[in-house]
Structure 1
Amino acid sequence: MAEQTKIARRSFFAGVGLVAAAGVAVKLAPSAAVEALSEQPAEPEGKSYRLSEHVKKYYRTTTI
């Protein structure tokens, strides 16, 4: 029984260490990666559908 408790405790602390390391990695990640994710895609060329401001306003008025 003591061996089983020791293994469970080791697994718990290994998991806590892994979560802590992931948190530190996210905190230290370059901000360029975050900015790249938040950029809007470029507008398509031609006469295709575009999500312009007046279309966004219409969508907002149709929500319940």
Structure 2
Amino acid sequence: MSERSKSSRRGFLWGAAATGAAATAVATLPKVQPDLQAPVAEPLPKPERGGGYRLSEHVQNYYKTTRI
């Protein structure tokens, strides 16, 4: 048997095995469905004189990560 046919067959088998493993992983993962009854946050009122910056929890967490 030639070297080319061995490598071709080997590549095909590796590809088939990888495809089977990926299909098994997708089939066994839990199905995630979005929660359609999630509460909607009401928007905050606009500032009267501009300057909409607020020091929220998200911003504070960002500042903590930038400290040296």
TM-score (norm 1): 0.50
TM-score (norm 2): 0.48
Note if 1:5 corresponds to 2:5. Answer: yes
Q: What does residue 16 of structure 2 align with?
A: 16
Q: Which amino acid aligns with 2:22?
A: A
Aligned pairs, how many? 44
Larger relative helix fraction: 1
Structure 2, unmatched stretches of 5+, are 44-68
Structure 1, unmatched stretches of 5+, are 47-64
State the shift of 1:44 in Å: 8.4
Which has the higher relative contact order, 1 or 2, with Cα contacts under 8 A spaced 6 or more apart? Answer: 1
Q: Which amino acid aligns with 2:10?
A: R
Q: Tell me how far apart the structure 2 counterparts of residues 44 and 8 of structure 1 sit (CA, whole Å).
A: 58
- Sequence identity percentage: 32
SS class of match (1:31): coil
